[in-house]
Amino acid sequence: MKKNLCILAWVVGIVASLSAQDWPQWRGPNRDGVTRFSEPKAWPEKLTTKWKVTIGEGYASPILAGGRILEFARQGDDEVAMSIDPENGKTLWRQSYPAQYEPVSSAARHGKGPKSTPLFYDGKLYTFGISGILSSFDAATGKVEWRKDYSKDFKGTWPQFGTSMSPVAADGLVIALIGTNDDGAVVAYEAKSGAQKWMWKGDGPAYASPVIVEIDGVKQVVTLTQKYAVGLSLASGDLLWRIDFPGRSGMNIPTPLRFGQRLILAGDPGTMLLQANKQNNSWTTEKAWTISELTMRFSSPVQKGNLIFGFSNRTSGIFFCVDADTGKTLWTSPPRQGDNAVVLISGDLLFLLKDNAELIIARASGDGFEPLHRYEVADSSTYANPLMLAKGIVIKDNTTLSLLSWE
């Protein structure tokens, strides 16, 4: 009886918080990096640490659903899914499974931890381990619902640098990129049962996370694969359109960003605006513009009106702003900003979390790079996306999770 009451209370919490600030997946409710933030009356010189806990290794970003933080990390030889109380950082439930993994030497500095952000959908938590283990949990209790490991399906279960794409869900389906270089697929499962609905084997997986958009009345899964950018029918998995999109060593990483009925794609080929058109029963694509010098390696862009903000790996790291209507670069920041930066946006503010644990609050404007405030938020590198809460910002560094307050 007590257990049932706890679950009921958690479900009530979900309903109450859905309209508030839930952050149920990679890059937020719409996978576009748009977050809610109430600017403090006075910005502090330093942020105050409310709690800090060691949760394990990895770059998986924390998410929020039903008043709970849901996270995914490595502890020893196990990958661990967990539910955390945002009030005090205490673990509410924990589930683990063995997941052996050794990174290639060129990626060793990024560790063995999972890089895929978990997904909350319809009461379930979905995690995708660095070695390609896809799991479904009851998000209220941590009970394992189903699991896939692909060891018998492909010649390998992860691409060269480990699995990093974050699953997406819609219309009762969970979609992931599975397999290894030159032998993989995009696959859709029934979210509740784990039964396979469709599979597209047109290319191996990259590291980008897919988005689901509706163009010309057709819902489609848009993602970067090892060699292409593709649009697949959400209902059937049929290939609607495809363009060449080669990444260095297959490292297509940035998440596609919807811009009206068009798409912002970014990676080693540069940053581009793509138009996909339906003509009768066939599709065509057209590149409205391409800025080849604004390459992106790890980071994904955000949008404000006609402005696109992002972080390029060019000149050892620069922030930039592009007019998406014309393809004109409006400004770039000083160079040598670092290896990576997470870019989030809330109204007129940009939140730029660099890999060296520096958080920059900047003006979201087309007039120039305008940092307003700078904060040190961790003692080690910060590749995971932060989580904005009403009471502060949740930061995942190499091994710890912490809540920092603006007050």
Q: What is the pLDDT of residues 335-389, one digit of tens each?
A: 999 999 999 999 999 999 999 999 999 999 999 999 999 999 999 999 999 999 9
Looking at the domain assignment, is residue 158 inside a domain? yes
| Position 10 in a domain | no
**Which spans in 36-135 are helix H?**
none
Residue 16 located in a structural domain: no
Average the pLDDT over 129-135 and give the result: 98
| pLDDT-based confidence at residue 14 (cuts at 50, 70, 90) | very low
pLDDT in tens, 226-257: 999 999 999 999 999 999 999 887 889 999 99
State the Cα–Cα distance between residues 209 and 200, nearest whole angstrom.
Answer: 16
Query: CA neighbours within 13 Å on the CB side: how many for 102?
Result: 1
Question: What CATH number did the domain enclosing 71 receive?
Answer: 2.130.10.10
Averaged over 97-111, what is the pLDDT? Answer: 92
What pLDDT is stored for residue 8 in this prediction?
47
Lowest model confidence (mean pLDDT) among 7-21, 50-64, 148-162, 339-353: 7-21
Task: Report residue 217 as tokens.
Answer: 């009345």
Is 175 among the domain residues? yes
Q: Is the pLDDT of residue 9 over 80?
A: no
Instruction: Give domain status of residue 4, yes or no.
Output: no
Per the domain annotation, does 2 fall within a domain? no
CA angle in degrees (0–180, nearest 5) for 335-339-344: 85
Note whether 167 and 177 are within 8 A (CB).
Answer: no
| 213 belongs to a structural domain | yes
- Grouping H, G, I as helix, E, B as strand and the rest as coil, residue 108 is helix
* 7: in domain: no
Please give the DSSP secondary-structure letter assigned to residue 182: T
Rg (CA), the chain: 20
Beta strands in 326-378 (DSSP E): 328-332, 341-346, 349-354, 358-363, 371-376
Helix (H, G, I), strand (E, B) or coil at 15: helix
**pLDDT score, position 1:** 53
Model confidence pLDDT, tens digit, residues 29-81: 999 999 999 999 899 999 999 999 999 999 999 999 999 999 999 999 999 99
Does an H or E element contain 137, and which?
A: strand 134-138
As a whole-number percent, the residues of the chain with pLDDT over 70 amount to 95
Domain count, the chain: 1
Contacts of 37 (CB under 8 A, 6+ apart): 346, 347, 349, 351, 388
How many C-beta neighbours within 10 Å does residue 139 have? 27
Its domain, for residue 198, covers: 21-405
Percentage of the residues of the chain whose pLDDT score is greater than 90: 90
